[in-house]
Amino acid sequence: MVIGFIGLGIMGRPMAENLCKAGYSLIVNDHHEENIASLVAAGAKEGSLKEIGLNSDVVITMLPNSPQVREVMLGKEGVASYMRQQTAFIDMSSINPVDSKYIGSVLKEKNIDMLDAPVSGGEPKAIDGTVAFMVGGDEEVFNKYKPILLHMGSTVTRCGELGAGNTTKLANQIIVACNIEALAEALTLAQKAGVNPECVFEAIKGGLAGSTVMNAKAPMMINGDDKPGFKIDLHIKDLNNALECAHTVGAPVPMTAQVLEVMQYLNNNGDGKSDHSAIAHYYEKLADIKIGREK
């Protein structure tokens, strides 16, 4: 089976490498030559969008947002123009579910199957192949292509019809963002009250407040490590999509709006490329501290 893989960023590159390790033939495309080079070294071939469309049994995208996915797939020289009937498109990007449904409807007219399959887990889990997939699409199509996803992730869950994967991802991103903000707020409280934030983390991580988010992000906040596993500006994109979807369906999301404003402030003040744990910077500035460290 030949897989076309478009988008070799922080998440896409290690996920594509895992497909190479699993023995799939990959044709890859990305704006950055250094990302392509690492995949070629892993056994993939570089190809244009046209070459990917003509030669792939499955096309996978891992792109920033809806406009990029629509352009790559449905643009004037988009991949869909060259794909054969009865092939498939799996979009692992995190986009608005409305756009997933639209792209799927266009592809359906060409007799091309589609799954929306965004992921959660960040760069470390992308590297070790343990991301969680949230998938939308026809059940038969899901069952056919699930083995491909299992070479990149540890859990692959069908959440409903096309668009359900990205709806689930938006829910995931709301929970993650609000957890990170609550963690930063709590550790700031500890520091201002004279209690070591690292001790607080050790004391509560095994209780009800404990979470995967806390285990991953508390040490980063305490150590001042904002190397991106998932960038603030990408999380802003996801939360904007969440607000747009929520407004469309009439769901109240006031917490989402609040944490989005905090992230937007950080983006406007030089932290857009930082890890989303850099929400702590917002609280550190307000409280005039450094969490777990000397100023």
What does the alpha-carbon distance between residue 275 and residue 55 come to, in Å, rounded to a whole number? 37
Q: For residue 110, how many other CB atoms are within 10 A of its CB?
A: 14
Residue type, 206: G
CB-based contact 107:113 (threshold 8 Å): yes
What is the total residue count of the chain? 295
Active site members: 169
> In b/e form, how buried is each residue of 236-246, taking b as 16+ CB within 10 angstroms?
bbbbbbbbebb
Q: At what angle do helices 232-249 and 97-109 cross, to 10 degrees?
A: 80
